[in-house]
Amino acid sequence: MPEIINPFDESGFDLANMTGAVNLLPNNYGRIRQMAIFMRKGENTQRVILLDEVNGQLTLLASKPVGSPSTTVKRSKGKMRSFIIPHIPYDDIIMASDLQGKRQAGTADAEYLENIMINRLTSMRNSHAITEEFLSMGALKGIIIDGDGTELYNLYTEFGITAETMPFAFASDVSNVAGKCRDVKRHIEDNLKGDVMSGVHCLCDETFFDSLIDHPKVKEYFLNHSASLNLAGSDIDPRMGFRFGGITFEEYRANAPRPDGTSVPFIGAGDAHFFPLGTSNTFETVDAPADYLDTANTPGQPIYAKQVMDAKGKYVDILTESNPLPLCKRPGVLVKGTA
C-alpha cells in the first residue's frame, strides 16, 4: 500500500510562510491605499492604541539680550484617548473533493495544490483589502463604520470637535464655487495644528462631480482640462484629477457588497470629502497582532494566514485575519461638501 501523503504538512503552509505569502499577493482594491494617505509604521504590538493629544503648534520666539534668561517651553496638559483595533477574521476550507480526481492517489501534486491555495488566498486577500479601503474612507469622513454598518468610531465625538460641512449650492448659477474651495482650504490649513500638507484632495460621488463640472463657473475649466489630456495623448480619465480652485477633484465610485447581499457605496449621494495630502502625522493605519499564541505581543502585520488540518484528515481550514484601524488624528482637517 502506498504511503499516504499529507500535502499540507509542509513548511510552506505554516503561519509564517502563509502570512508572508498573503501579504505579497497583489492588492487590486483601493484607490485610498494607492494614494498612500495613511502611513503604516508597523510598530504596534497591542490590540488597543493610546493617542496623546497635545497642542503641537509652532510658537513665535522673541530675541533676548545675550546672558538673559531663555524663553522656556510652556507645556500644555495633553488628553489621552484609547481605540480598540477591529478584529476581522475570514476563513475558508479545502475539502477532499477539491483535490479528488485532480491528482494521483497517494501522491501530492504540489503545483495544483499551490494553485488552489493561491486562488483561495487571493480571493480572501481582496476581501480584506476592500474592507480596509472601506474603513479608510470612513476615517476620511470622520466616522469609521464597520462592514456590517455599525459605527465603530465617530472621530469628531472622540476629539470633541464639530464636523465642518460646506454646501456648494450648485443649483444656483451664481454660486461662488472658487470661493467655497478657498474656504475649504483655509479651514484645513487652520486645523493642521502643527502638521504640514502638500495640497488638498477631494473624493466625491458622481452626483457631486457632475454638478461641479456642469456649473457655469466651472464647465469651461473642465473642458480645457479634458482637451489638454486629449492633446497630450494621455489615457487618464479626466474624472481622476480635475483641479479647480486649488483642489484636486476625483470621482470615487467604490462600493462593496455586505454579507446580506446589499451593496454599500463608500460615499453618500451628492457628497464630497476634502482632506489634506502630504501630511506627516495626521493619517495612520495601525495593525494589531493576530489572535494566535505565537503572534501575541509581536508587531502587527497587515494580514495573517495559516492552515489547520482536521484531526480526521477530512478537510483543511484556511484561516486569515486582519486587524487594521485607519485613523485621522486631526479630524478638524476633514471637510464634507454637499452638492
Q: How far is CA 161 from CA 46, 183, 200, in A?
A: 27, 18, 21
pLDDT at 67: 62
CA gap 138, 145 in Å, rounded: 6
Q: Which phi and psi angles does 94 have, rounded to 5°? A: -110, 120
DSSP 271-295: EEEEEEES-SSSEEEEEPPPSSGGG
pLDDT at 30: 86
10-residue stretch averages of pLDDT, the chain, 339 residues long? 54 72 71 94 87 58 60 63 92 84 59 77 90 96 93 95 97 97 98 94 97 96 91 84 96 86 90 97 94 92 90 88 95 97
What's the chain's Rg over C-alpha atoms? Answer: 25
pLDDT at 104: 52
pLDDT at 58: 47
* pTM confidence score: 0.87
pLDDT at 8: 61
pLDDT at 57: 46
CA gap 114, 99 in Å, rounded: 11
Q: Which residue has the cell 471637510?
A: 335
Question: Which domains, from first to last, does the chain contain?
Answer: 11-53+80-338 (3.90.1690)
pLDDT at 116: 83
* Residue 264, strand partner residues: 256
Cβ neighbours, 10 Å, residue 175:
17
pLDDT at 25: 66
